[in-house]
Amino acid sequence: MKTIITYGTFDMFHVGHLNLLRRLSEMGDRLIVAVSTDEFNKGKGKKTLIPYDQRSQIVESIKYVDMVVPEESWEQKLSDVKKYNVDVFAIGEDWKGKFDFLEDLCEVVYLPRTKNISTTDLKKSLKRFLSIPHEDLIQAFEVLELLRRDLE
């Protein structure tokens, strides 16, 4: 049995996440996904919108995923590879070279990201939207309502 493991926050789950999990599941027989806990993300200076319990439930419900474990530290990767008899450690190419130290224990694969989608970009768009003054949003919706009426 070929076991694959990957790590991620999986905040604001999107098609890029789904594509990654699908590709990983095709690489072996069992896919383990370590989802970063809220505490671990906080220690990395990363704020999540969706709490760990919900993120792990979302990932666990994906048909490509066989097991979800909490990611609580950087050092955990080494022990997880041993604990779960991992054959392939795989992660997005934005981490290229960072986990080569695992090559003595398993194959290390860096996968390309899905083009034009990322949680970071989604959060930036949301932040820009939320920074629009309330009065401007009300005015925009009033204009849209007038347009809708004109098109009826």
| Catalytic residue ranges | 44, 46
Alpha-carbon gap, residue 123 to 130, rounded angstroms: 10
Residue 34 sits at the vertex; the CA angle it makes with 30 and 39, to the nearest 5 degrees, is 170
Alpha-carbon gap, residue 97 to 65, rounded angstroms: 25
Alpha-carbon gap, residue 77 to 92, rounded angstroms: 15
DSSP string, 113-144: PPTT--HHHHHHHHHHHHTS-HHHHHHHHHHH
The answer to whether 88 and 4 have CB atoms below 8 angstroms apart is yes
